[in-house]
């Protein structure tokens, strides 16, 4: 894969005990060091006008001033330092690069993966939250649409937390389809099945809130049964993966049961969906807070594009997870293009 990476992202200092630390990127780089075919690209920071396309100007100006004055606790979870402003611009720039690179035809072993921090999917239009300042995936999607590089973009968020910010930004937009698989009840306790979009964005939001303890078997079933058909019907030019790795069975802040091999299975499935949709594909780093599990999972995603075939999953979907999938289907996500977007 081609990994977007910028040293500026290491300068976002969250303190010695914060789970979203620079060590996350260092661990990923270390895990990729002995992998074949790894290439790094250092894109420019995002233009502020791209940020203002999804975030309110008063918030953006206030965040810049907050950081320039030295930062501090924005809220109970979200910490900024003096260099966090520059890191946030760099992280959004990496996401924009990944989207552009995919649309330029970089696929297969050249598929782009933006290794940026701070992450983005909790950032709402008017404030930071959940470790996130700018909504990187939403910035990237809106950038390529506004510049005529794509007409329709899908964002698939497999982070264990619901991407409330991405949903809020895209909820009434018919040209962006947002899908989230997340642990029900976990921070920020949003993302209900019945939230499917409004106005021009009706039925372009899909939420799959699985119960704690759900295994990768249910995730794969969701990809095959509901996500794949819905995205193929939406017919996107680009699929962006908000790639958080905190649903891992050994991640310290979640209760899901996805293995490292499971992330390989997810990657293979999204590649199949992109091929069926004739869509470009790019990855944007979100969460993942166990350094070993995060780094090994990112490395396995890379290895899938280098030819690795993940082991098939022979487990069973739990009755609770099956009930969630049945309820999602009841919302009208049946693969009929006339009912979506």
Tell me how far apart the alpha carbons of residues 48 and 105 are, in angstroms, rounded to a whole number: 26
pLDDT tens digits, one per residue of 115-141:
999 999 999 999 999 999 999 999 999
Confidence of residue 218 (pLDDT cuts 50, 70, 90): very high
Angstrom distance (rounded) from CA 325 to CA 341: 20
pLDDT value of position 89:
98
Percent of the chain with pLDDT over 90: 96
What angle (nearest 5°) sits at the alpha carbon of residue 159, between those of residues 170 and 267? 100
Contact between 99 and 140 under an 8 Å Cβ cutoff? The reply is: yes
User: What band does 152 get if pLDDT is binned at 50, 70 and 90?
Assistant: very high
Nearest to 282 by CA among 135, 141, 88, 143: 141
Domain ranges of the chain: 2-339
In this structure, which topology does domain 2-339 adopt according to CATH? 3.40.800
Residue 188: cis peptide before it, omega within 30 degrees of 0 = yes
Parallel, antiparallel or unpaired: strands 79-81 and 71-73: antiparallel
pLDDT beyond 60 at 339: no
Distance CA 24, CA 12 (A): 12
Q: Is pTM, for the whole model, over 0.85? A: yes
> 314 pLDDT band (50/70/90 cuts)?
confident
Q: For residue 81, count CB atoms less than 10 angstroms from its CB and return exposed for 0-12, middle for 13-18, buried for 19 or more.
A: middle
Percentage of the chain beyond pLDDT 70 is 98
pLDDT mean over 290-309: 98
Calculate ∠ Cα 275-146-180, nearest 5°.
Answer: 50
Residue with tokens 């497999």: 158
pLDDT at 333: 80
Say whether 122 is catalytic: yes
Chain-wide mean pLDDT for the chain? 96
Mean pLDDT of 297-306: 98
233-259 tens-digit pLDDT: 999 999 999 999 999 999 999 999 999
pLDDT score of 77 more than 60? yes
Q: Is the dihedral of CA 234, 239, 245, 248 positive or negative?
A: positive
Do 132 and 143 meet the contact criterion of CB atoms below 8 Å apart? no
Confidence category of residue 334, pLDDT binned at 50, 70, 90: low
Q: Is the pLDDT of residue 335 over 80?
A: no
Work out the average pLDDT over 41-63. 98
pLDDT digits (tens, 9 = 90+) for 86-106: 999 999 999 999 999 999 999
338 pLDDT tier (thresholds 50, 70, 90): very low
pLDDT tens profile 192-210 = 999 999 999 999 999 999 9
How far apart are alpha carbons 206 and 194 in whole angstroms? 8
Q: Which residue has the higher pLDDT, 316 or 337?
A: 316
What distance in Å separates the CA atoms of residue 55 and residue 4, rounded to the nearest whole number? 23
- The catalytically annotated residue of 12, 55, 122, 302 is 122
């Amino acid at each position: 894969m081609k990994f977007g990476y910028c040293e500026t992202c290491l300068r976002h200092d969250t303190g010695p005990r914060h789970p979203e630390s620079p060590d996350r990127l260092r661990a990923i780089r270390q895990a990729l060091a002995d992998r074949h075919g790894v290439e790094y690209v250092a894109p420019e920071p995002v233009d502020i006008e791209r940020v203002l396309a999804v975030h309110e100007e008063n918030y953006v100006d206030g965040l810049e001033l907050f950081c320039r004055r030295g930062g501090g606790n924005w809220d109970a979870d979200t910490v900024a330092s003096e260099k966090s402003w520059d890191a946030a611009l760099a992280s959004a720039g990496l996401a924009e690069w990944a989207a552009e690179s995919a649309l330029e035809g970089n696929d297969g072993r050249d598929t782009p993966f933006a290794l940026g921090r701070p992450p983005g999917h909790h950032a709402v239009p008017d404030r930071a939250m959940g470790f996130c300042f700018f909504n990187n995936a939403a910035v990237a999607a809106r950038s390529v649409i506004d510049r005529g590089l794509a007409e329709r973009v899908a964002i698939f968020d497999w982070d264990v937390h619901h991407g409330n910010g991405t949903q809020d930004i895209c909820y009434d937009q018919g040209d962006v389809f947002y899908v989230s698989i997340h642990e029900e009840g976990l921070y920020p306790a949003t993302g209900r099945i019945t939230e499917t979009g409004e106005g021009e964005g009706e039925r372009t939001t899909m939420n799959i809130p699985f119960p704690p303890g759900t295994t990768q078997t249910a995730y794969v079933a969701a990809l095959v049964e509901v996500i794949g058909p819905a995205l193929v019907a939406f017919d996107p030019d680009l699929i962006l993966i908000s790639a958080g790795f905190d649903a891992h069975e050994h991640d310290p802040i979640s209760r899901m049961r996805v293995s490292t091999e499971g992330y390989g299975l997810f990657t293979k499935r999204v590649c199949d969906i992109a091929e069926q949709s004739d869509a470009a594909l790019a990855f944007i780093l979100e969460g993942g807070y166990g350094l070993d599990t995060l780094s090994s999972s990112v490395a396995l995603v890379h290895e899938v594009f280098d030819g690795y075939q993940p082991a098939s999953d022979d487990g069973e979907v739990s009755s609770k997870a099956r009930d969630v999938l049945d309820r999602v289907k009841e919302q009208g996500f049946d693969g009929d293009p006339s009912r979506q977007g």
